[in-house]
Every structure is written in structure tokens, then in C-alpha cells.
């Protein structure tokens, strides 16, 4: 566990959210980075069944009025994540850092030949007879592809088949396979949520940041904040939203752990101007 929480909790009387108060105090130069599924929206059997509660959406909107940057950092394609959130003032980082979308302006951070390799892998996976027979859902996100096993009849068998098929495509197309919460992402190497967070931190000249995530792909962002904290005067906090599916590594990199139903309270704390 990183040092911020330890320093802030030395006085046992402090509320555990007080670790965020230095970020609140630097709001004009701070960024709030929020994963979507599992943080702002509940995990559902299918991604198209999920939603962002209206109260949570209102809290995120209030954050945009106070902080220099509020960004939704999602594994979803950027337009999909933006549609789910429904807030044009929030910068959407999609595809695990490979897309940026703000107020309708959409950019891929990849050359066309790399996207072509992803599409070749996607086509091969869609033709895989075992994956089709098992009911694995294949989500084409243009710059990456996701294979979902949540809710299929035989999840353990489907998971093994997905890992095998994704590994084969990763080797043949020079891609990276990343397992998550009952989903495996296949994507190009070298760009992730951490590279996106670091890039935005520098470009927006931030001095403080909070990242809230719940899955393995968020570890890259936690590591990026840790590196920024170690190499500069930046104040950063990594918050893990824990569940029975949380990867152990996520908790090891977190400064603060909360449950999903505590997210609104944490966002409300961040809107507080006390500091």
C-alpha cells in the first residue's frame, strides 16, 4: 500500500476519506479519473444492460465544476462509454487508453495498421466454432476486442476456451491479452490506462489526481500515479472499489479501498470545498 493513506490516517480520529482532502484543496489544478463499469455503473451480466445511476451522474457533473479535469477512463469504446455517462463536459478515455472523446471530438491514439491487426484478430475470433458454441460474446471495439464469458452456461469451460483463443491471436497478430472480470481484452501493446493518465496529467499541468478503479486494467493507472508521486511534488490517491472479483494486485497498489455502494459518498466528499 502506498504512503498517502498512511500519512493521512496517522491520527485515528480522521475519516478515511480525508486522504482526499489535499486533492480537494488543489482542485483548480487537480484531475479526477473514474473507471466506468464497476465504479460509476454496476457490473451486469451484459455490458449493454448496465447504467449510471442519476445521482451518481449528478455528482460527476458537480465534479466538473470544481476540478481542472474530470475523465472517465473505460475499457469500453469511447462513444459507448460517453453514451453511458451522458455528460459532454467529461473527457472520455476509451479502449483502455487508446481513444479520447470530448464534446463530440473523437481521436484514436493508434496508427491505422495497428487497428487493422486488431480487426483481423476480431474476425478470426468471430469465426471460432468453439467460442460460438459456448455462447462467448465478442465485442468489437475497433482498437481492441473483448471476449465476455459472464452469464454463459458453462463459464469455466468458456473461460479456458477464451484464454486459448485470445493467446493464439495475440501471438499471431502481435497483440497483448489482458484478462479481467470475466472478460479478456485483446489489444495493442504500449498503450493502457496508465499511459493515458500520465499523458493527461502532464498535458493538463495537474498537481494532484485521484483515480478510482476496480479491475486489473486499472492497476496500470495506479502505477502511473505512484510514479508521478515519486518523481514530482504531485499528490495522488489511488482508490480501489473492491468486490469478490477484485484482483489481489489491485489492492496492493491502492491507497484506499471502498465498496461499490460507497462510491457516491466518496464523490460527494470530493465536491466538498472545506479544504
Start-to-end Cα distance in the chain: 25
Residue whose C-alpha is closest to residue 102's, from 94, 111, 110: 94
C-beta of residue 177 within 8 angstroms of C-beta of residue 204: no
Domain regions of the chain by residue span:
17-109+191-270, 112-187
User: Tens-digit pLDDT profile for the chain (275 aa)?
Assistant: 555 444 444 333 358 899 999 999 999 999 999 999 999 999 887 878 899 999 999 999 999 999 999 999 999 999 999 999 999 999 999 998 999 999 788 888 888 899 999 999 999 999 999 999 999 999 998 889 999 999 899 999 999 999 999 999 999 999 999 898 899 999 998 889 999 999 999 999 999 999 999 998 999 999 999 999 988 789 999 999 998 888 888 999 999 999 999 999 999 999 974 43
Instruction: Judge residue 262's burial from the number of C-beta atoms within 10 Å of its C-beta, 0-12 exposed, 13-18 middle, 19 or more buried.
Output: middle
* Architecture category of domain 17-109+191-270 in CATH: 3-Layer(aba) Sandwich (3.40)
The secondary element (H helix, E strand) that includes residue 61 is helix 54-64
d(CA 105, CA 259): 34
Question: What is 112-187's CATH topology?
Answer: Alpha-Beta Plaits (3.30.70)
Amino acid at each position: 500500500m502506498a504512503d498517502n493513506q498512511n500519512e493521512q490516517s496517522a491520527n485515528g480520529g480522521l475519516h478515511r476519506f480525508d486522504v482526499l482532502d489535499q486533492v480537494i484543496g488543489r482542485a483548480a489544478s487537480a484531475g479526477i479519473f473514474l473507471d466506468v463499469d464497476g465504479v460509476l455503473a454496476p457490473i451486469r451480466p451484459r455490458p449493454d444492460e448496465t447504467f449510471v445511476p442519476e445521482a451518481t451522474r449528478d455528482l460527476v457533473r458537480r465534479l466538473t465544476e470544481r476540478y481542472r479535469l474530470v475523465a472517465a477512463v473505460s475499457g469500453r469504446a469511447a462513444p459507448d462509454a460517453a453514451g453511458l455517462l451522458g455528460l459532454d463536459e467529461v473527457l472520455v478515455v476509451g479502449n483502455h487508453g487508446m481513444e479520447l472523446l470530448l464534446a463530440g471530438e473523437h481521436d484514436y491514439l493508434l496508427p491505422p495498421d495497428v487497428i487493422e491487426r486488431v480487426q483481423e484478430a476480431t474476425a478470426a475470433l468471430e469465426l471460432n466454432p468453439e467460442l460460438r458454441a459456448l455462447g462467448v460474446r465478442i465485442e468489437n471495439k475497433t482498437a481492441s476486442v473483448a471476449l465476455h464469458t459472464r452469464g454463459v452456461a458453462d463459464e469455466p469451460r468458456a473461460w479456458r476456451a477464451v484464454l486459448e483463443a485470445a493467446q493464439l491471436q495475440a501471438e499471431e497478430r502481435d497483440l497483448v491479452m489482458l484478462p479481467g472480470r470475466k472478460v479478456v481484452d485483446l489489444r495493442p501493446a504500449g498503450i493502457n490506462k496508465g499511459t493515458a493518465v500520465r499523458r493527461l496529467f502532464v498535458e493538463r499541468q495537474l498537481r494532484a489526481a485521484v483515480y478510482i478503479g476496480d479491475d486489473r486494467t486499472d492497476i496500470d493507472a495506479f502505477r502511473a500515479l505512484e510514479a508521478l508521486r515519486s518523481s514530482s511534488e504531485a499528490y495522488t490517491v489511488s482508490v480501489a472499489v473492491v468486490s469478490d472479483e477484485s484482483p489481489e494486485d489491485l489492492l496492493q497498489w491502492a491507497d484506499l479501498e471502498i465498496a461499490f455502494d460507497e462510491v457516491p459518498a466518496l464523490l460527494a466528499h470530493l465536491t466538498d470545498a472545506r479544504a
